Structure 1
Amino acid sequence: MAVIVIIGHSCKKNSLALDSTEDEVSKVKTALVKLGFDTASAIIKGEDIFVEGDILLKKSELFKTQSRHATAFSGGPFVIYENPIKFYVSPVLGNSSVITEALNEFSAIKNPYKDTNLPPFLNPSLGITFTEVFNENEANLIFHDFFENSIRLGYAQWPNVLPAENLPPPYVNHARLQTGKNMYFNTFHWSGLSISQKKFLVAHEFGHALGLRHTDWRRSEASAMNIDGVLIGAYTVPNTPNSTTNPDPNSLFNSGAGTTPFFWNGFTIYDKVAIWFVAGGGASAL
């Protein structure tokens, strides 16, 4: 349990630490609040903005990002924009097999709903596929290494939402999710993790690259607030619980304060529903 704290809360600070002018700090803070993020733990270093410990946003893209089992996106469900996802692994991280295994767990997710809004032959599984490439310039998902003598294990870049394509029936047009391109893993810890722990960590961070917040987000964020007449906060994924601070204790996407053990034990049913919502086009009620 001590190790899992690293994943979600290793970047906690009492106030914003920003490399910006006072006016820009105010604008960035307002944007983060409208996205439903807790600004008390935000750290901004130049272009990079860290929230909730292991979620990376880019300052230049912050105002393009729409505002767990919740996500920070409204207007879903979504479909993946780039498919297959071409991924590149830094040689410093070593053999890519455990990363491939973790990504393939997403590909293997079957529709978690009893009924779907498409015939089964059109929508039987998540539909994300992954292809490893060996030229970083060809990749739309990059696994970087970094070295930092700290408790931080890794972090992932937040995605963007693009307009829907105008596809003819029987296709359902959904907004497209452009996954976060960059994922980072700390080699100070990486080599000491077991295969199971690496798989857990990769899958957890890729969930953030898909736009999933920490399942136990209510631990660090109050209920939705009203700012300038607009209700903001977390957007609950339909058919997943969010009424308590720890609604799904075994969720892969819990933060460090959650009760999820730090080893690969698969997705919970609500994890699958949340992943399906942000990446598979959604479905009807359970």
Structure 2
Amino acid sequence: MKEPMTYQTLIAVDALKDMLASGADVIIFDCEFELGAPDKGAEIYARGHIPGARYAHLDNDLASPSDGTNGRHPLPAPVAFAAWLRAQGLRRDQQVVAYDSHGGAWAARLWWLLRWLGHGPVTVLDGGRQAWVAAGLPLEAGTPVAAVPGDFEVADSLVPAPVRAADVLTNIDTGKAQVLDARDPSRFAGEPNPIDPVAGHIPGARNRFFRDNLGADGRFRPADDLAADFNALLQGASAILQCGSGVTACHNALAMAVARVPAGRLYPGSWSEWISDPARPVATGRD
């Protein structure tokens, strides 16, 4: 009997539809979220989500509490996050599909976290909620019943170890790795904005706005195009991936996996942690 295909980066709407129709062993997570309105994602989920999907809240489920010095979205504790995943019904080797309506901005965080805990079959729905609806496929309202607990356990990580602020500070002098900042160009440049109390970027960083990974249709651009972009930015160096709080940096991690570019190391605290210490240097400008 032929083994079912597993997905580890992106999955198309038609492929997910066929998996669900065939009764394949898959668990879906809706990662809808709105910065500045933390309850809105759950409200959107309750109004309509892909049938059977469970909700993953960025602040409550995909991060641990911030203490003011470790960024807005610190990584969740592995033991606690694994327990939450089991409570959602996740089993070992089960195919996970994550989606949102923001081009994968939040779903990519769940993708990275699961790979961080050693779970290989996890993928992001290419085009997200919009692509599902555009294909004429149904949504369901409400919240799911309690799941039968799964048997998921933490395994060897499938991503490079994250870096700390001290590592990033050292890298400014050594230049061994290229920092890629996933925030939009205006925030990177240091223009005033309501999100960053200190504007600018890490000295030596280059800007790779995560939305540049997407085409006009909201789907990821072709792998060869993404590879050309990242290779031009990295010029043979390894990558340190950051953003505002370690979330959309995961979108660049996913794009690099799609492009088959060597994986970068996530700086989870990112800009929101970096600026919590006024002794850390800040650069401005778009170069």
Judge same fold: TM > 0.5, yes or no: no
Query: Which one has more relative contact order, counting CA pairs under 8 Å at least 6 apart?
Result: 1
Instruction: Give the structure with the larger helix fraction.
Output: 2
TM-score by length of 1: 0.28
More strand by share: 1
State the TM-score, normalizing by the size of structure 2.
Answer: 0.28
